[in-house]
Amino acid sequence: MKLLAIFAAASLTGVFPQIDKAPRYQFAGSDQLAFQILQGAPADVFAAAAPKYPQELYARGKCWKPVVFATNTVVLIVPRANPAHIRSVYDLRRPGIKLVVGAPGVPIGDYTRKLLAKLKLSSVLGNIVSNESDVKFVVAKVALGEADAGFAYKTDVKAVGSSVRRIALPAAGQPTVQYELCIVRATKHLQAARAYVREVLSPRGREKLKAAGFGLP
């Protein structure tokens, strides 16, 4: 029996196998996964860290109607030792700060840019030393001390424990972070894909998401 192929945002790496360890998972940036599905990659279910990509696939007839299944919060992270002595997001304006973010088009990268624009801090983008293809790479670089700060999801901080410190962000800048999933129309396992989606949306699935730090719609 062929395993279901679940294409899912990198920030779901820890929680989805807790909900169901049986499928074959591919975790990466939501934009990359959507592109692969458009190119005909054999995915059964697609779960993204932003509505943009499932909605685009739906509009193009590549997946069934998406549904919101979780929410998240953007946070600023620094290495545990915090050598740049960053105390707030406004400290990122200092010259020489090494900032790592998600690339444009990657959900965490787009959320980061929206947040900075709302706080009138877009000039901070001048301190970017690396644009990463998914949020896990952002967290890894900050945890290893290769950057002074980065933007990630609250759930990613929970996953790496004491390797990084989280710095609170002004609520006025916080973007709306919603996760959507959809069944890919090309699936040859429609019933199994529907069962997987039901599992994610079930009380048990929601409990696992909540325990991992996600918000529930």
pLDDT of residue 1: 45
In angstroms, the CA 136 to CA 34 distance is: 18
Closest C-alpha among 168, 7, 160 to residue 73: 168
In angstroms, the CA 155 to CA 209 distance is: 10
**Residues 120-146: pLDDT tens digits?**
999 999 999 999 999 999 999 999 999
**CA atoms within 13 A of residue 195's CA, in its CB half-sphere:** 8
- Determine which helix (DSSP H) or strand (DSSP E) holds 130, and give its type and residue range: strand 128-132
In angstroms, the CA 201 to CA 68 distance is: 9
Class of domain 74-173: alpha beta
In contact, 145 and 74? CB cutoff 8 Å = no
Which residues, 6 or more positions from 135, have their beta carbon under 8 angstroms from its beta carbon? 9, 10, 11, 29, 49, 102, 106, 107, 108, 152, 153, 156
Closest C-alpha among 164, 151, 153 to residue 89: 151
In angstroms, the CA 211 to CA 12 distance is: 13
Examine the pLDDT at 93 and tell me if it is beyond 80.
Answer: yes
pLDDT band at 2 (very low <50, low <70, confident <90, very high): low
Examine the pLDDT at 77 and tell me if it is beyond 50.
Answer: yes
Looking at every residue in the chain, the average pLDDT score rounds to 95
Query: For 43-65, what is the mean pLDDT?
Result: 97
Judged by average pLDDT, the poorest of 88-102, 148-162, 186-200 is 148-162
- Determine which helix (DSSP H) or strand (DSSP E) holds 77, and give its type and residue range: strand 74-79
Provide the 3-class DSSP secondary structure of residue 28: strand
Examine the pLDDT at 24 and tell me if it is beyond 70.
Answer: yes
Pick the CATH number of 5-71+176-211 from 1.10.357.10, 3.30.870.10, 3.30.530.20, 3.40.190.10: 3.40.190.10
The domain segmentation of the chain, as residue ranges, is 5-71+176-211, 74-173
Do 5-71+176-211 and 74-173 come out as alike in CATH topology? yes
Closest C-alpha among 152, 91, 101 to residue 129: 101
